[in-house]
Structure formats: C-alpha cells, structure tokens
Amino acid sequence: MASGFFAILDDIAALMDDVSVTAKIATRKTAGILGDDLAVNAEKATGFLSSRELPVLWAITKGSLINKVIIVPIALLLNFFFPIAIKYILILGGFYLAYEGVEKIVEFLFHRSAPSHGEPAPILQNDPEAEKAKIKSAVLTDFILSVEIVIIALETVRSESLTIQIFSVSIVALLATIGVYGIVALIVRMDDAGYKLIKRSDNKGFLSALGGLLVKSLPVIIRILGVVGTIALILVSGGIFVHNIEYLHHLLPTVPGMIKEMAIGLVAGLFMVLVITGGKKIVSLVKR
C-alpha cells in the first residue's frame, strides 16, 4: 500500500516536472504577445479618477480570468475535435484587433476634441455608463488577445499528452492574467506612490525627488502606452493574418516581417472601419 502511494507521488512529481518545462517553453513563445497585451490593457485601464482605478482594474482582471476559463477548455476541445476552427476564430479576432487599433488612429486624426493641457481626460466617477463601456471594451480586447496567447501556448505543447497540454496551457493563461494586470496595477498607481513618498519625506531629499519623478512620469507613460498599445493591436492583427492565411504568408517575402504585418493590419483595420462606419450610417438611415 505504502509503495503504491509513493509510486503515485513519484508519477505526480514527474508530471509536474514535465509541465514546468513545457509551461516555461510556452511562456517564452508567448512573451511577445504578452508584451502587446500589457501595452494594450495598461492603456485601457487608465483615464479614470484615482479612486476608481483599482476597482476598474479589478473588474477588468475578473473579466480576463473569466475569459481564460472560457477559452482554455474550448481551445483544447477544438484542438482535439475540430482543429481547423481555431484558425478561423483567430482570423475573426484579427479583424477585431485591427479595427480597434485603426479606429483609435482615425479618432485621433479626425474626431479629436480640443486638448486639455496634454492630459488624458478622465472618465468621471459619476459616469458609470462610460466606465462600464470602457471595461467592456477592455475585456473584449483581452478576450481576443487571450485566444492568441492560448493558441500559441497550445501549439507549443501539441505533441505532448493531453494532461500536460491541459496543465501547461492553464498555467500560461493564469500567468498571463496575473502578470499583465499586476504590472498594470503598479503603473496606474505610480502617482499615488509618488505623492506618499513626497508626504513622508516632508517634500525634502531623495525620496521627495523620487516621488516627484513618479508623479510626473505617469502621464508620459500613459501617453506612450496609448501609442504602443495602438501599434500592438495592429501588429498582432497583422501577425494573425500572416501566420494563418497562406497567401499573405508568402506575400512580399523580401519585406521585413514587422513592416508587412503592420501594413496588413492597417489595411484590415481601415477595411473594418469603413464597413462598420458604413453599416452604422445605413442603420441610422433605415431608422429614420
């Protein structure tokens, strides 16, 4: 009995050892898109009043966890029973990401309101509908990026047993949410940390200077993340198209991959903006 029990423990230890190796490889493979995920979601989690930043971020984090709970088992089942469906799901998600990125550029170039001292306009605390809309948008974008992360992780461990696939992909999905939103939380609370350092040091010395730097750096970091997040959306969408559509994969082989992915993402995004804008106009005309 005892020997059987220790044999089971030995099997579990061996399994966990295999899972740790495959999860490490899968995490390395998804590192690029995790960086994109960080940039996109940090930009989406900002622009709120200080008192609402953490509640909003927690709402987005819960949405991200729910996304992973939905995506991981569906991806595993599709990979087993109907693997071709994964490709088409990724392509549809690519169109959404391209639209999100290009729509931001169009909004900035043609529909931007007058700037207010260079600061991002916060969503007011008494505007719960606007807050809910931004949370919903962030969770939806996270869903698309999560699909890409899970699929890449799954591709990495495709040759392993089903048990190792389940554990490895689940670990990568969980680390993606905890890691990304943990870093986002640190970013959006930089100014509060800076004010506390200034107050604790009585506005003197190194701690005060460090606090001032944190406070002044936050708006700059938010603006940078806004730009990086938009570029990331377009690049990720272009990468999805290039890696999942055979014609685009072999198109312009001499052009650097990043430039080709950016160009394809821009074209797809412009197409989606035209389609959605035109559709909205048609609907409004029909309603009249």
Tell me what the mean pLDDT of segment 246-268 comes to. Answer: 89
pLDDT (0 to 100) of residue 263 = 94
For residue 46, report the phi and psi dihedrals to the nearest 5 degrees.
Answer: -105, 175
pLDDT (0 to 100) of residue 287 = 75
Asked whether residue 7 is domain-assigned, the answer is: no
- Domains identified in the chain, total number: 1
pLDDT (0 to 100) of residue 116 = 46
Residues 6+ apart with CB under 8 A from 68: 146, 150, 173, 174, 176, 177
Asked whether residue 53 is domain-assigned, the answer is: yes
Q: Quickly state the pLDDT bin for 124 (edges 50, 70, 90).
A: very low
For residue 113, report the phi and psi dihedrals to the nearest 5 degrees.
Answer: -80, 170
Asked whether residue 10 is domain-assigned, the answer is: no
Q: Which of 14-28, 72-86, 157-171, 241-255 has the lowest mean pLDDT?
A: 14-28
3-state secondary structure of 48: strand
For residue 25, report the phi and psi dihedrals to the nearest 5 degrees.
Answer: -65, -45
Q: Quickly state the pLDDT bin for 260 (edges 50, 70, 90).
A: very high
- Residue 52 reports pLDDT greater than 80: no
pLDDT (0 to 100) of residue 48 = 65
Domain extent at residue 274:
15-287
Which of 244, 257, 224, 229 is closest to 142 using CA atoms? 229
Helix ranges (DSSP H) in the chain: 2-29, 31-44, 50-81, 84-110, 128-156, 162-188, 190-200, 205-244, 246-250, 257-287
Q: Distances in Å between the alpha carbon of 105 and those of 182, 210, 229?
A: 28, 34, 11
Asked whether residue 264 is domain-assigned, the answer is: yes
Most confident stretch, 36-50, 154-168, 205-219: 205-219
Q: Quickly state the pLDDT bin for 19 (edges 50, 70, 90).
A: low
Q: Which of 113-122, 244-253, 257-266 has the lowest mean pLDDT?
A: 113-122
Asked whether residue 157 is domain-assigned, the answer is: yes
The chain-wide mean pLDDT, for the chain, equals 77
Q: Quickly state the pLDDT bin for 115 (edges 50, 70, 90).
A: very low
CA atoms within 13 Å, Cβ hemisphere of 147: 23
Asked whether residue 6 is domain-assigned, the answer is: no
Asked whether residue 3 is domain-assigned, the answer is: no
Report yes or no: 63 and 177 within 8 Å, Cβ to Cβ. Answer: no
pLDDT (0 to 100) of residue 34 = 64
Asked whether residue 9 is domain-assigned, the answer is: no
